[in-house]
Amino acid sequence: MKEIKRLPESELEIMQIIWRETAPVSRAVIEHTLNEKHPLAPTTILTLLTRLCDKGFLSQKKAGRTNVYEPLITEKDYLASESRLFLDRLFNGSVANFAVALCDSGIKKEEVEELRRLLEKGEL
């Protein structure tokens, strides 16, 4: 798997909006969705979009008088990369150590059973 850079929270929030929408996504759609949670200035949103393009997460093209954005990295690939970094950083790359920590954290029996079913189906 190619190395994917870790995103700061503000850029990840924009990527999550783009991943949920049907591509291509306009700045106006991103701004509207963000403003439902917490307003950001349009210039701030444009700066974040530019950074995401520079980092290789988005492509930008013109659609009439506006720019639209498409993801170049899928949410699945980003989550896989973040999960691997998480395991490596906190659990020395060991899924078993992670499982022990989950059990120590008070994970519910139903959650353990759900994980077991997913593992048996090969969906993890």
Helix (H) / strand (E) containing 44? helix 42-54
Walk across the sheet containing 66-71 and list its strands: 25-26, 66-71, 58-63
Given a contact cutoff of 8 angstroms between Cβ atoms, the answer to whether 22 and 68 are in contact is no
The region that residue 59 occupies, defined by phi over 0 for left and psi between -120 and 50 for alpha, beta otherwise, is beta
pLDDT of amino acid 22? 93
Tokens for 30, please give them: 């991103």
Q: Which fold has domain 7-69?
A: Arc Repressor Mutant, subunit A (1.10.10)
Q: What is the pLDDT along the chain (124 residues), one digit of tens a residue?
A: 567 889 999 999 999 999 999 999 999 999 999 988 888 899 999 999 999 999 999 999 998 999 999 999 999 999 999 998 989 999 998 888 888 888 888 888 888 889 889 888 876 5
| Extents of the domains making up the chain | 7-69, 73-119
